[in-house]
Amino acid sequence: MNRIAKESPEFRRLMFEEAGARKGIDPSLIEKDFWVCWTLKRIFEIDVLREHLIFKGGTSLSKVHNAIKRFSEDIDLTIGKELLGFTDKNDPNIISARKEREKTIDKMMAACSVYVNGDLANLISKSFAQVLADGWRLEPDASDADRQTLLFYYPLTLKVPDYISPAVKLEFGSKSDMWPSSISKITPYAAEFFPKSFDEPFCELKVLSASRTFWEKATILHQEAHRSNEKALPSRQSRHYYDLAMLSGTGVRKEALNDLSLLKRVVEHKQYFFRCGWAQYDKASPGTFRLMPGENRFAELRKDYDNMRIMMFEQPPSLDEIISCLEQLEKDINKL
């Protein structure tokens, strides 16, 4: 991938345009996908980071598990607590007293913020600068209140649609569980059409399992089902409904539904690390699990989903089809 990163802007532009035409999607998505993959490759090649990071989220579903047919532009990475010094007696998982545990989690989040904006940002910038000359920058995301996100403004050669950001968002965090995981590979879409142009067309990384992501997504929808009508739905939330519906059409559904111990672990972890009084995680179990949004949310979801369509690789299911799929999935979970 470094060979392409070092090529002239004109070379990259022509490659991305041709790959976009062949794949049938906006070439700017091909371009951003390349930089997403290149970014992951550079980060996971940093020795002090490799063993302490987990790749997860929607991008892992599309790039690693091939479970969804949408472009996912953000990189979601969990930093191992051990890298921040929160092990043994400082590990929040083994602290039984709630107040003490919450204080420790707050300290861990603060340490994560300092690390992301200091040592980690410096490591990544140094790695990028070994390959890229100019036309790029790495900076903190001012919109992240936790200050754990970096933005990589990559060397653009194509205009991006309004719904797409001209930067790769690197969302770091230390609160997420890193189990179960495996070593996998990802490849840029451009390499599928021009494999001989790439010196190394793949990136090897550690990724969270699809079944874990299934239950992570399901509990997000369970939380949203309990959101007060007075509270606005967060933007880009429709992706979670789409992702879970797509996952339920693969073998991941059976694997996840047969592993209720994993669901229990996900719920307990959220109760510990992502406390939310109105989420009713105590009901996120067979018999009382909820995936369906209230009908008053349909208009919000439909608008958000329509905005997301440019990121789809194939003719996507309608929101009504997604809701129907999730309605059946909710019934199946509650019969377990």
pLDDT at 228: 93
**Smallest Cα–Cα separation from 34: which of 243, 186, 205?**
186
Model confidence at 102, pLDDT cuts 50, 70, 90, reads very high
Question: In sequence order, which residues have a C-beta less than 8 Å from that of residue 53 and are 6 or more positions away?
Answer: 43, 44, 77, 78, 79, 80, 205, 206
Half-sphere exposure of 36 (CA within 13 A, CB side): 30
Q: Are β-strands 149-153 and 168-173 bridged in parallel, bridged antiparallel, or unpaired?
A: antiparallel
**Smallest Cα–Cα separation from 36: which of 82, 72, 11?**
72
pTM score, whole prediction: 0.94
pLDDT of residue 195 exceeding 90, the answer is yes
Answer yes or no: are the C-beta atoms of 250 and 67 closer than 8 Å: yes
- Given strand 137-140, what is the order of strands in its sheet? 137-140, 149-153, 168-173, 74-79, 53-56, 203-208, 181-186
Mean pLDDT on 303-315: 88
How far apart CA 175 and CA 333 sit, in angstroms, is 26
pLDDT at 129: 98
pLDDT at 289: 99
Answer yes or no: are the C-beta atoms of 305 and 242 closer than 8 Å: yes
The domains of the chain are located at 2-208, 210-334
The string of pLDDT tens digits covering residues 50-62 is: 999 999 999 999 9
3-state SS, residue 139: strand
The string of pLDDT tens digits covering residues 215-241 is: 999 999 999 999 999 898 898 899 999
How far apart CA 242 and CA 239 sit, in angstroms, is 5
Percent of the chain at pLDDT > 90 equals 91
Residue whose pair of structure tokens reads 């989420």 in the numeric block: 279
How far apart CA 330 and CA 241 sit, in angstroms, is 12
Count of other CB atoms within 10 angstroms of residue 95:
17
**Smallest Cα–Cα separation from 182: which of 161, 162, 206?**
206
- The answer to which of 12-16, 85-89, 305-309 has the lowest mean pLDDT is 305-309
Q: Is the dihedral of CA 272, 273, 276, 281 positive or negative?
A: negative
Residue 95's φ and ψ, nearest 5 degrees, are -90, 115
Answer yes or no: are the C-beta atoms of 71 and 30 closer than 8 Å: no
pLDDT at 71: 87
